[in-house]
Amino acid sequence: MKKIDHIGIAVKDIEVSNKLFESLLGVSAYKQEEVQNESVLTSFFKNDSCKIELLAAIQEDSVIAEFIEKKGEGIHHIAFEVESIPDELERLKAEGFVVLNEIPKKGADNKLVVFLHPKSTNGVLIELCQSL
Ligand SMILES: C[C@@H](C(=O)O)C(=O)SCCNC(=O)CCNC(=O)[C@H](O)C(C)(C)COP(=O)(O)OP(=O)(O)OC[C@H]1O[C@@H](n2cnc3c(N)ncnc32)[C@H](O)[C@@H]1OP(=O)(O)O
Ligand SMILES: [Co+2]
């Protein structure tokens, strides 16, 4: 795992949270992107350390809507950048981590992504992402 690529934050209203994070970080979001297969609208900020990905549900059955329903707004996942998802998955499976999707999905910001079940990672949803 090379470095943290982004921290995902579940929000109810992307416009409201865009303004909040603009004020907090002192920079504007550099992109907003809908990811249909995850039913989310994302918005990205970055500084020298990593990116912040705001995630709002675009459908009621989105995992983000379910998460907010259960836990409220807040940190949803941590994403690590990896050189090769297949190599990293092989290593992590051998270590006993539970992979949520074996086949990488198209994520936001030109990445392929896979997720590890939070039950196998101390309650923290982990995303691995690889640049396209
Ligand atoms: C666009 C892309 C990108 O960056 O490029 C993204 O990030 S997309 C980001 C959105 N997409 C994803 O997150 C896809 C992967 N996520 C999933 O498949 C799902 O959200 C799961 C993580 C499996 C959770 O779904 P679900 O709650 O139905 O699963 P489950 O019944 O197996 O497990 C339920 C337990 O997990 C907990 N749980 C649910 N979401 C959690 C989260 N984000 N962090 C920590 N714990 C979480 C529940 O509270 C519950 O705990 P208790 O049993 O203790 O109550
Ligand atoms: Co993410």
Tens digits of residue pLDDT in 17-67 = 999 999 999 999 999 999 999 999 999 999 999 999 999 999 999 999 999
Nearest residue to 129 via CA among 85, 91, 64: 85
- CA 22 / ligand 1 centre spacing (Å): 27
Q: Is residue 83 helix, strand or coil? A: coil
Is residue 88 over pLDDT 90?
yes
Over the chain, what is the mean pLDDT?
A: 97
**55 touches ligand 1 (CB under 6 Å):** yes
- Per-residue pLDDT averaged across 89-114, rounded? 97
Structure confidence at residue 1 (pLDDT): 86
Is residue 104 over pLDDT 90?
yes
Ligand 1 atom nearest residue 109's Cα: 5
Distance CA 2, CA 61 (A): 32
Q: Which residues are CB-neighbours of 38 under 8 A, at least 6 positions away?
A: 62, 63, 105, 107
Q: Do 79 and 128 form a contact (C-beta atoms < 8 A)?
A: yes
Distances (CA, A) of 63 to 18, 68, 90, 131, 132: 20, 9, 26, 23, 24
Structure confidence at residue 2 (pLDDT): 81
Q: Which residues pair with 55 in a beta bridge?
A: 10, 42
Is residue 85 over pLDDT 90?
yes
pTM of this prediction? 0.97
- Per-residue pLDDT averaged across 96-110, rounded? 96
**115 touches ligand 1 (CB under 6 Å):** yes
